[in-house]
């Protein structure tokens, strides 16, 4: 399985505290059946890590995992916050943030927590026009999507994918997030699942989400989701 949203790199954002915790997270992920993690540190006004630094940290983690005998693939990405259209476009042109894959077919986007960015549709259209599928991170955790689900539906209708976080399905992000996430699954509006793991406590747990989705929506929808995740995985490998 692929975990395409994980804060496993240390010393960049609010994810793993150090390399030791990164390795522990990878061990937990491997035991859960995850064989590929896209490392997606935040990219926002308060956190801007140069790609070269991420590449270096990934190499350090890969080396540590080989030493521990953990056969898990780590590739780079970012969780890009929709601060503004100018923020997204300027930093993309400068190559400051990373797509989920070298072919730039997928990008992970995050809304601001304070309010919905009214430029979201414009930004998503811009990515789509360039052959990139935007993936909206954890919509179930945002008040504005829960209160105005039509905002999310409009993005989905454009071609945006949604990524629900497994912890939400387990009730760890509150009852409202859990209910909304499950409603999205029942409506067929969840395209991928991910862990959004930040630590050994907020840990990788993808298999739990797959089982819950199977219970809520059935095997056909689960297989469609796994197919989409496999497409992302192959693209992340440059295939």
What is the reported pTM? 0.97
Q: Where does residue 203 rank: exposed (0-12), middle (13-18), buried (19+ CB within 10 A)?
A: middle
Whether the CB-CB separation of 10 and 60 falls below 8 Å is answered with: no
Q: CA–CA separation, 44 vs 65, rounded Å?
A: 28
> For the chain, what are the domain ranges?
2-236
Domain range 2-236, its CATH number among 1.10.10.1100, 3.40.50.20, 3.20.20.140, 2.102.10.10: 3.20.20.140
CB 88 within 8 A of CB 110: no
Residues 19-78 have pLDDT tens digits of 999 999 999 999 999 999 999 999 999 999 999 999 999 999 999 999 999 999 999 999
Whole-angstrom distance, CA of residue 202 vs CA of residue 195: 9
Look up residue 139 and give its DSSP letter: G
Three-state SS at 182 = helix
Nearest to 73, CA basis, from 109, 31, 37: 37
The tens digit of pLDDT for each residue in 125-147 reads 999 999 999 999 999 999 999 99
Q: Which two tokens stand for residue 88?
A: 């997204």
């Amino acid at each position: 399985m692929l975990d395409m949203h994980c804060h496993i790199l240390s010393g960049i954002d609010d994810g793993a505290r150090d390399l030791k915790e990164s390795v522990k997270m990878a061990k937990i992920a491997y035991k859960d059946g995850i064989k590929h993690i896209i490392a997606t540190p935040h990219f926002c006004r308060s956190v801007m890590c140069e790609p070269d630094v991420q590449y270096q940290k990934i190499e350090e983690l890969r080396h540590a995992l080989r030493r521990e005998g953990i056969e898990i693939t780590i590739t780079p990405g970012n969780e890009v916050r929709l601060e503004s259209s100018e923020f997204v476009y300027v930093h993309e042109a400068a190559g400051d943030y990373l797509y989920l894959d070298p072919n730039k077919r997928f990008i992970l986007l995050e809304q601001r927590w304070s309010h919905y960015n009214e430029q979201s549709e414009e930004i998503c259209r811009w990515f789509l026009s360039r052959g990139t599928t935007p993936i909206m991170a954890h919509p179930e955790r945002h008040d504005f999507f829960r209160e105005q689900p039509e905002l999310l539906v409009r993005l989905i209708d454009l071609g945006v994918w949604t990524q629900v976080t497994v912890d939400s399905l387990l009730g760890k992000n509150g009852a409202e997030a859990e209910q909304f996430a499950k409603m999205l699954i029942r409506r067929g509006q969840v395209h991928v699942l991910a862990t959004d793991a930040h630590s050994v406590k907020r840990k990788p747990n993808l298999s739990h989400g797959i089982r819950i989705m199977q219970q809520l929506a059935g095997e056909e929808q689960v297989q469609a989701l796994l197919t989409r995740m496999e497409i992302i995985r192959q693209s992340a490998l440059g295939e």
